[in-house]
Amino acid sequence: MENSFLNKEISNDVQLSGAGYVAAVMKSEEGGELCKIIMASPRFCGHQNRICVKCAHEWAWDYTILWDRTVAGRKMKEELDRGTEDRL
Ligand SMILES: [Zn+2]
């Protein structure tokens, strides 16, 4: 369903910021509305409205990030787990 659509969109243009995002739920919100946080490479992130491997931990303060929900999220989680942010 939704996932196959996402896979297609993301694989078509990985670099385009609008095509890659992670799903997240705001912790403070009752019922937790699903948000889409646009992913960026650390160099272009700005660390405010977007998410990258360098600021993912800051997003995690306020949001429960659903890494498995999107392809982009799974990739980023892998990178975080490997600790490769310095190479990006
Ligand atoms: Zn960032």
**Domain ranges for the chain:** 2-87
State in Å: Cα 8 to ligand 1 middle: 24
**Ligand 1 centroid to 45 CA: how many Å?**
5
| Spacing, Cα 66 to ligand 1 middle (Å) | 17
The alpha carbon of 3 and the centre of ligand 1 are apart by a number of angstroms equal to 24
Q: How far is the CA of 59 from the centre of ligand 1 (A)?
A: 9
Per-residue pLDDT for the chain (88 aa), expressed as one digit of tens each? Answer: 444 444 444 444 444 433 589 999 988 867 778 889 999 889 999 999 999 999 999 999 999 999 999 989 999 999 899 886 555 5
* pLDDT recorded at residue 86: 56
Helix or strand or coil: residue 83?
Answer: coil
Rounded alpha-carbon distances, angstroms, from residue 50 to 1, 18, 42, 45, 63: 26, 10, 10, 6, 13
pTM of the model: 0.69
